[in-house]
Structure 1
Amino acid sequence: MLIRLGYEIAIECAAATPIISLLDIHPDRHADIKRQTRVLTSPSVPTRTYHDRHGNICRRFTAPAGSFRILYDAVIEDSGETDEVNTLARETPVAELPDDVLTYLLGSRYCETDHLGSIAWQLFGQLPPGWARVQAIVDYVNSRLSFGYGYARATRTAAQAHEERVGVCRDFAHLAITLCRCMNIPARYVNGYLGDIGVPADPA
């Protein structure tokens, strides 16, 4: 199937503001791009890219004071198939984890494993390790939180989302990541395009 993707993001800056955007298509999918525009800015400013340690393309530029827009439009080919489900996926004991994933067990500013550790073990400690445990965590987060754009708050942490029972997409992700890390399951935040295929247009 062919999927059109893109964005037009408008911001207001009180002063010239250096920005790093992670909005470029991952190099793994470049062969699937059927057409695309350049990344455009208005007003036009120079941009440059670099790759982070996960292979993401990061775009650096400085937005001038005042109104600023960044635009992109593309069509990409995709199978349209859902993600693979492997209910037999096993949980790797911490002692056997590769060195480069150990950092994804640690607490952080948004993922306070120290606050949610006992709750996680009470909820999920008796479940069989592996796919079933992670699925239970995701299901719990989806039933625990209510989604709403009006709930957005840039400072909300996983523990606050758990207590307040509301949030936006990042709050769902932070809470799931934190609960996984509490259970010694490495997890990290990954963002992507939110598809609207089959979703009625929002008149707003």
Structure 2
Amino acid sequence: MRIRYGFRIALDCAMPTVASFALDVHTSRQADVLTASPLFMRCGPQDVSHTMATDMFGNVRRRAVLPPGRTVVEHHGVIHDSGRPDAVNLSAGQVPVDQLPEEAMTFLLGSRYCETDLLAQEAWSRFGHVPEGWARVQAICDFVHDHIAFNYQNADRTRTAAGALREGRGVCRDFAHLAITLCRSMNIPARYCTGYLGDIGVPRDPAPMDFSAWFEAYLDGRWYSFDARHNIPRIGRVVMARGRDAADVAIVNTFGPHGLAGFEVWTDEMGAERVAA
């Protein structure tokens, strides 16, 4: 299938402000992009110049000095997707720590929003009896899905996994952070993902669209997508960035004050035709 995606973000700055963006489709999905606009960055009629690089996680980073006034950042495109739901492998086993590849080891450690030192005892007491592998990760997702009440009004950029467990509320990033932390506490590598997730194959959500967060767990030598918020396999995930937690993949980081003046995200299936994967 073909998926249309894009965004339009407006930022107000009172003075020249350095900003870093992680808004491109991830390098691992670039080959699937069929058409894409340039990433436009404008302040009034003036184009804002920016640089582009790839970070340690394969995320595309753009950096610019935003001038005083309102800068609009916009991008859109069409990407090919298999049209299949997230892969499910009930027999996928847990890889012993001594056999993990080095790149997976990073995703066993605690990080800014994922305090494995605080939640390890909680994890083992709740899930130590569950068979290792897929069943254990799914049990963690089931718990987080049932424990956290989703509400956009409950968003808090300072809330950590421990905070989400304590408060029992949050948004998609909180579901991901808590599930990631519980997985890592049980020696299952887990990494944070952000990107597009449209209402494909599910009833349309009337709320304004936003970027989504989910996570990937390393089982049987590969990464599998899990989503503790929705807790069902979904169609059409388009990853933009991966990292240890939300701090690594923030869509915008400014090194100075700014105001968010506009935010639109769109992603949906184009037509009914299906293209062979």
Shorter-chain TM-score tier: over 0.9
Give the 5 Å matches for 1:74-113: 74-113=77-116
SS in 1 for 2:77: strand
| Corresponding residue of 1:202 | 207
Give the 5 Å matches for 1:1-204: 1-43=1-43, 44-197=47-200, 198-202=203-207
Letter aligned with residue 37 of structure 2: T
1:160, distance to aligned residue in structure 2 (A): 0.5
Letter aligned with residue 193 of structure 1: Y
Which is strand-richer, 1 or 2? 2
5+ unaligned residues in a row in structure 1: which ranges? none
SS in 2 for 1:41: strand
Separation in structure 2 between the aligned mates of residue 50 and residue 42 of structure 1, nearest angstrom? 20
Separation in structure 2 between the aligned mates of residue 203 and residue 56 of structure 1, nearest angstrom? 26
Quick one: structure 1 residues 48 and 94, their matched pair in 2 at CA, closer, same or farther if it must change by over 3 Å? same
Letter aligned with residue 27 of structure 1: T
Separation in structure 2 between the aligned mates of residue 16 and residue 152 of structure 1, nearest angstrom? 28
1:200, distance to aligned residue in structure 2 (A): 4.1
Separation in structure 2 between the aligned mates of residue 115 and residue 41 of structure 1, nearest angstrom? 41
1:143, distance to aligned residue in structure 2 (A): 0.9
Quick one: structure 1 residues 128 and 34, their matched pair in 2 at CA, closer, same or farther if it must change by over 3 Å? same
Separation in structure 2 between the aligned mates of residue 200 and residue 93 of structure 1, nearest angstrom? 40
1:196, distance to aligned residue in structure 2 (A): 3.2
Higher alpha-carbon deviation: 152-161 or 32-41: 32-41
Letter aligned with residue 207 of structure 2: D
Cα-to-partner distance string for 1:35-94 (whole Å, 9 max, x where unaligned)? 221101121211121111222211111222332221011111212111111111110111
Structure 1 length-normalised TM: 0.92
Structure 1: 4+ residue segments shifted above 6 A: none
Give the structure, 1 or 2, with the largest relative contact order (CA under 8 Å, sep 6 or more).
2
Letter aligned with residue 204 of structure 2: V
5+ unaligned residues in a row in structure 2: which ranges? 210-277
Letter aligned with residue 170 of structure 2: G
Letter aligned with residue 38 of structure 1: P
Task: State percent identity of aligned pairs.
Answer: 50
Letter aligned with residue 53 of structure 1: M
Which is helix-richer, 1 or 2? 1
What is the number of equivalent residue pairs in this alignment?
A: 204
Letter aligned with residue 163 of structure 1: R
Cα-to-partner distance string for 1:4-53 (whole Å, 9 max, x where unaligned)? 10000122234322222111112333333232211011212111211112
Cα-to-partner distance string for 1:92-111 (whole Å, 9 max, x where unaligned)? 11122222322211112211
Quick one: structure 1 residues 116 and 24, their matched pair in 2 at CA, closer, same or farther if it must change by over 3 Å? same
Separation in structure 1 between the aligned mates of residue 58 and residue 12 of structure 2, nearest angstrom? 29
Structure 2 length-normalised TM: 0.69
Separation in structure 2 between the aligned mates of residue 66 and residue 166 of structure 1, nearest angstrom? 36
